[in-house]
């Protein structure tokens, strides 16, 4: 742990003084870290990294994420009839597993189904990039978040060792996320569970483990069972604009939003509840929502209010469709 902290401090200090370590220097520091901190053989790390390639498409993709789009361009990517139909089928197929996950963790089935649908269209699109290539590219050639991605690269080596993966064969997103739920290496290590009891935590091929792992991720990030997620709001005056911050942290209470001219219809919130006001750009207008603590939990999965809102709205569509389908089946 001390060595990891020293490594981070070294990189930070170099950056502060305008001194940028070269990719080769970062590579050697990484190798030393894996050898000294995690007891890997130097030849193993060196030979594995030698098989990795810098991927320019990865660098292009991370520079233009979908989350940089305005809301009116973002949500149509995910809120589609095709995804809804696929999600309903997935829920009906795995309804017992989803019910168990909800009972054990408190995370609603519709949230789990929405996450897997948004992330991979129910396992259909898990990513075409070599995870090793992606993390090497971002860890050594993407200064804005290189420290983070080198940490994930270290986690990838540990994950492959623990789960007996062939590290060179793993495929995922341009950011190195893997499997049905698109877990990054550290999330896979810390939050994946063997939900079907076969002795393997398989998020790459097993939807049952994916369901349990997504639920566990939300539980570990303090999802509050049976609590609301977000409410559409109205704003008046101009004081509310001061509450619209880039930070995802909840630094205001509901009473403060009310004083600033924010209101919701048909709901009573505790005046001391931690909440956050969000603004979403429509084609010719602005839309406002009050995010509750569970909305913040969704942003732990992907640090974007656009993502969290898409998941939330998709989950509500899924819940409605599932309830309608279930009722129709009972009436047959």
Instruction: Enter the tokens of residue 47.
Output: 């030979």
* Coil, strand or helix at 130: strand
Say whether 164 is catalytic: no
Give the integer Cα–Cα distance in Å for 126 and 132.
Answer: 15
| Among 46, 119, 164, 268, the one annotated catalytic | 119
Q: Residue 127, Cβ neighbours under 10 Å: how many?
A: 20
Phi-psi category of residue 122: left, alpha or beta, with phi > 0 → left and psi -120 to 50 → alpha: left
| 190 vs 17: CA distance, rounded Å | 35
Rounded to the nearest 10 degrees, the angle between the axes of helix 207-220 and helix 109-120 is: 110
Q: b or e along 11-20 (b: 16 or more beta carbons within 10 Å of the residue's beta carbon)?
A: beeeeeeeee
Distance separating alpha carbons of residues 286 and 271, to the nearest angstrom = 25
DSSP symbols for 148-172 = HHHHHHHHHHHHHHHHT--TTT-EE
Q: Are 144 and 182 in contact (CB under 8 A)?
A: no
What are the angstrom distances between the C-alpha of 214 and each of 98, 110, 119, 128?
11, 12, 11, 21
- Whether residue 31 contacts residue 45, with contact meaning beta carbons closer than 8 Å, is answered with yes
Which residues are known to be catalytic? Answer: 119
């Amino acid at each position: 742990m001390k060595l990891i902290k020293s490594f981070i401090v070294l990189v930070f200090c170099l950056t502060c003084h305008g001194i940028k370590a070269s990719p080769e220097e970062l590579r050697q520091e990484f190798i030393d870290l894996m050898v000294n901190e995690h007891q890997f053989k130097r030849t193993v790390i060196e030979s594995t990294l030698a098989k990795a390639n810098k991927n320019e498409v990865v660098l292009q993709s991370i520079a233009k994420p979908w989350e940089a789009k305005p809301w009116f361009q973002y949500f149509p990517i995910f809120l589609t009839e095709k995804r809804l139909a696929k999600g309903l089928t997935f829920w009906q197929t795995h309804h017992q597993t989803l019910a168990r996950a909800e009972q054990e963790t408190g995370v609603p089935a519709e949230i789990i189904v929405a996450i897997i649908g948004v992330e991979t269209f129910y396992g259909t699109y898990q990513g075409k990039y070599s995870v090793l290539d992606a993390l090497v590219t971002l860890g050594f050639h993407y200064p804005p978040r290189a420290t983070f991605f080198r940490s994930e690269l270290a986690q990838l080596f540990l994950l492959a060792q623990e789960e007996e993966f062939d590290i060179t064969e793993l495929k995922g997103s341009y950011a190195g996320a893997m499997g049905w739920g698109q877990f990054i290496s550290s999330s896979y290590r810390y939050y994946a569970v063997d939900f079907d009891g076969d002795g393997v935590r398989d998020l790459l091929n097993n939807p049952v483990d994916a369901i349990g792992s997504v639920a566990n991720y939300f539980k570990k990030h303090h999802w509050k069972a049976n609590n609301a997620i977000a409410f559409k709001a109205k704003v008046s005056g101009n004081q509310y604009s001061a509450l619209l911050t880039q930070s995802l942290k909840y630094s205001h209470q509901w009473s403060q939003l009310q004083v600033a001219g924010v209101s919701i219809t048909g709901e009573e919130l505790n005046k001391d509840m931690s909440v956050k006001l969000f603004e979403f750009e429509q084609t010719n207008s602005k839309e406002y929502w009050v995010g509750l603590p569970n909305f913040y939990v969704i942003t732990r999965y992907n640090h974007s209010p656009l993502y969290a809102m898409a998941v939330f709205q998709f989950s509500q569509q899924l819940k409605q469709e599932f309830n309608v389908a279930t009722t129709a089946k009972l009436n047959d």
